[in-house]
A and B are shown apart, each in its own frame.
Chain A
Amino acid sequence: MGKNKDHEAVASDGDGPGDEGYESDDGGYESVSSEGNGNGGSGGAAGELVEHGHEVAIHGGGTLEDVEGFDAAAAMTEGLADGETVPIDPELATLPECCPEEFEQPESVCGNDDRVRIRSTTRIPWRWNAQLIITSRNGRKSRCTGWFIGPHTVMTAGHCVYSHSNGGWAREIEVIPGMDASSRPFGSQVGRSFRSVTGWTNSKKPDYDYGAIILPNDSLGNKVGWFGFASLSDSSLKNLLVNNAGYPGDKPFGTQWYNAGRITKVTSRRLYYMLDTYGGQSGSPVWRYKDGKRHAVGIHAYGGCPNKATRINSAVFNNMVNWKQ
């Protein structure tokens, strides 16, 4: 890692002549960093290696957060991989095919909009999420979502900390965890130190679109706690049920919204899914909830149905471990 300015840093993360082929991370091992619950509590040792368990690939595994009003059944079936089928009601099966023009998508989302507002944002895991208010180098204001991975480190998308259209590195970013409309239950901090990788800052490659905000001290992170994160194998990720929450721009300002569904496609650097997202949710965590533990496996960054996250592969994982030091 090298600093190009006194308050900004980039990690090389495989950038260079071979960056597109980059590493294979499906080697039978998974890396896990534990979550922390806040109030000064810390998680387990970062970088702990655990042997890859055997999961049932077709069903993916993972569980949904318990969110009132969320249609869990739809999330279980939406985005099933090609070739997989679900039983069809005989009456529905006889309906004629129809023109796509009659089924335009009026929403920002993939199919039906089944996002649910989170009102208990002071509870885990919602308080680990933060509204980000970005002041770009050229003075423009924009918004993203971030999430704590340590007492002073907030993960987000690369384009939230470094915008090629707005002069490069952000000037400053206000981090407001657990924000709920006008309520800022934990206060906020302003970060002026950022991290990303050269694959994003120099090469503009979407595969490398991730970054972090380094806060001036540990007070806010220790108050709210943080997500664990994990680098999982392809087989563990395919069809995995994952959760996502963030601060979309089409909803009342500062309100956090939840959605969930399956990962439908996995590449070495990206995760694809039909979870409903919108502008403003860039940087939000895509996490696995399993056995009572939450580990982020991706950093949401792109829309367009399917929507996409930067995958936390072993290289991303290692940078995250370094950034939370």
Chain B
Amino acid sequence: MARVRGTITGIMESWPIQLAIRDVDGREFVISLEEDTGVVTRRGVVGVSELREGQRVEVDVEDGGGDGGSATDDVVVLD
């Protein structure tokens, strides 16, 4: 389990969706969300449809066996 914090660089439209995230050190992660993963914003929990490239986010992930992992909780938008 790890916490990834960085900027969304891609929203892959598989279902569930996958997020490409670049952290402050320039490392690239790909995070698979779950069908019920929510997005926490200042307005509360919204759907993944409100994710946009360039948003700074934080998400807890577990190792997916590759260069990324699966989200274990909601995606928190930091902006």
A→B interface (CB under 8 Å) = 104-105, 107-109, 134, 137-138, 140, 142-144, 157, 159-160, 163-168, 204, 206, 209, 248-250, 277-282, 300-305, 307
Cα distance A165–B12 in the bound complex, in angstroms: 12
Considering the chains assembled together, what is the distance between the CA atoms of A26 and B14 in angstroms? 30
Chain A, Cβ-Cβ closest to B49: A108
Which residue of chain B lies nearest to A138 when distances are taken between CB atoms in the complex? B65
A105 touches B12 (CB 8 A): no
Residues from chain A with a CB closer than 8 A to the CB of B70 are 140, 165-166
Given contacts A140-B70, A166-B66, contact A282 B35 (CB under 8 A): no
Cβ–Cβ contact A165 & B67, under 8 A: yes
Q: 8 A–B contact pairs at CB < 8 A?
A: A104-B43, A104-B50, A108-B48, A134-B14, A166-B70, A206-B9, A279-B48, A301-B12
The count of A-to-B residue pairs whose CB atoms sit within 8 angstroms is 118
Partner of B15, one of A166, A248, A307: A248
In whole angstroms, what is the CA distance A115 to B32 when docked? Answer: 25
* Chain B hits for A279, CB < 8 A: 13-17, 48
User: In the complex, are the beta carbons of A301 and B66 less than 8 A apart?
Assistant: no
Residue B57 lies at the interface, judged by CB distance under 8 Å to chain A = no
In the assembly, what is the distance between CA of A271 and CA of B7, in Å?
Answer: 22
Q: Say what secondary structure dominates the interface of chain A.
A: loop
B11: CB under 8 A from chain A? yes
Closest to A134 in B: B14
Distance between Cα atoms of A109 and B52 in the complex (Å): 12
Q: Identify which of B12, B14, B52 gathers the most chain A CB atoms within 10 Å of its CB.
A: B14
State which residues 5-31 of B face A: CB under 8 Å. Answer: 8-18, 20, 28-31
- Shortest Cβ gap from B22 to chain A (Å): 10
CB distance from B32 to the nearest CB of A (A): 4
- B64 x A167 contact (CB < 8 A): yes
Determine how close the nearest CB of chain A comes to the CB of B58; give it in whole angstroms.
Answer: 17
State the Cβ distance, B59 to closest chain A Cβ, in Å. Answer: 12
* Contact A105–B13 (Cβ < 8 Å): no
A-B contact sample (8 more), CB < 8 A, given A166-B66, A300-B13: A143-B14, A159-B30, A165-B66, A206-B10, A302-B12, A303-B11, A304-B53, A305-B52
Closest to B10 in A: A206
Beyond A163-B66, A166-B66, A168-B66, whether A304 also contacts B30 by CB under 8 A is: no
